[in-house]
Structure 1
Amino acid sequence: MTTVPEDLLHLLTDPNYGDLATVRPDNTPQVNPMWFLYDADSNTIRFTHTSRRAKFRNLQANPAMALCVVDPDNPYVFIELRGRLVEVIPDPEGAFYPILGARYGNPDTPVPPDAADRVILVMSIDHLTRK
């Protein structure tokens, strides 16, 4: 398990967007900005997603994933976390989506219309690079 350095912890605890990379079936990367929540107790990252999207299918075929978060105040400072999909938690009520919405400044985020297909993706933190 890789520990997040104290001086970069704010990148994960502040409401910054992260660029999440997965591997497509043709071995090319797919990268998208994502909301996320760092779980310090388990040292994992959690994302809301649906089971009908390409990123979910990518992770089912190849659980390797990486998250890069850039400091919005200094774009030369970043943290890249590499890990694996370690858990998929069904979220058919879409309850995690409004939690993330509130974290990102919108406390009135409604449950999304695709709630029935919602899952929580849990990423391990196995390797870290920084600048």
Structure 2
Amino acid sequence: MADDTYDPRTLIADSSLGILATIRANGLPQLSPVTTVYDRDADTVLVSMTAGRAKTVNLRRDPRAAVEFTSADGYTWATAEGAVTLTGPGTEPDGPEVDALVEYYRRGAGEHPDWDEYRSVMVSDRRVLMTLHIERVYGEKLR
């Protein structure tokens, strides 16, 4: 029996792993496990990804996505859907694109032991920050 008081954003906020669904050129979904950070104030889901990967290419072509979250016991799930913006990749370690990735890291993991190294890696890895602006969220708590 479903819990009628369940707020799917609770699971989204408590989760750091999700399955990102993007749309391939042929219309089929492309699914990727991703590390997520939820910004409750902005009602957005943040994901760091690499430029050139299928999910990034798909989102540049069609900036719509969904992220599905499942509890460890499998009885609670939540899906967030919406339009996406991509920031990056940055070309300068101190540029605004890398600043956005620093904020993502801080929200998800706290302080990094070596921010200069982190910033350099974000540029060399061609990292991109995806921001999913939640337009629809739904889910269930079955137990």
TM-score, structure 2 length as denominator? 0.70
1:90 equivalent in structure 2: 88
> Could you say if the C-alpha distance between residues 121 and 128 of structure 1 is closer, same or farther in structure 2, counting changes exceeding 3 Å?
same
CA contact 1:35–1:100 (8 Å) conserved in 2: no
* 1:30-109 equivalence runs, <5 A: 30-72=30-72, 74-85=73-84, 87-90=85-88, 92=90, 93=93, 95=102, 98-99=105-106, 102=109
TM-score, structure 1 length as denominator? 0.76
* 1:110-121 equivalence runs, <5 A: 111=118, 115-116=122-123, 117-121=126-130
Per-residue deviation, 1:50: 1.8
Q: Highest Rg: 1 or 2?
A: 2
**SS of corresponding position for 2:58:** helix
Per-residue deviation, 1:22: 0.2
What count of residue pairs does the alignment treat as equivalent?
123
User: Which protein is richer in helix relative to its size?
Assistant: 2
Percentage of pairs with the same residue: 25
CA contact 1:17–1:33 (8 Å) conserved in 2: yes
Structure 1 gaps of 5+ residues are none
Per-residue deviation, 1:91: 5.6
- Structure 1 runs (4+) greater than 4 angstroms displaced: 107-110
Per-residue deviation, 1:33: 1.0
Q: What is the distance in 2 between the residues matched to 1:70 and 1:115?
A: 29
Aligned-pair Cα RMSD in Å: 2.8
Q: What is the distance in 2 between the residues matched to 1:77 and 1:108?
A: 35
Q: Which amino acid aligns with 1:129?
A: Y
Q: What is the distance in 2 between the residues matched to 1:113 and 1:29?
A: 33
1:122 equivalent in structure 2: 131
Per-residue deviation, 1:90: 2.5
> Could you say if the C-alpha distance between residues 101 and 122 of structure 1 is closer, same or farther in structure 2, counting changes exceeding 3 Å?
closer
Q: Which amino acid aligns with 2:10?
A: H
Q: What is the distance in 2 between the residues matched to 1:97 and 1:39?
A: 9
Q: Which amino acid aligns with 1:54?
A: A
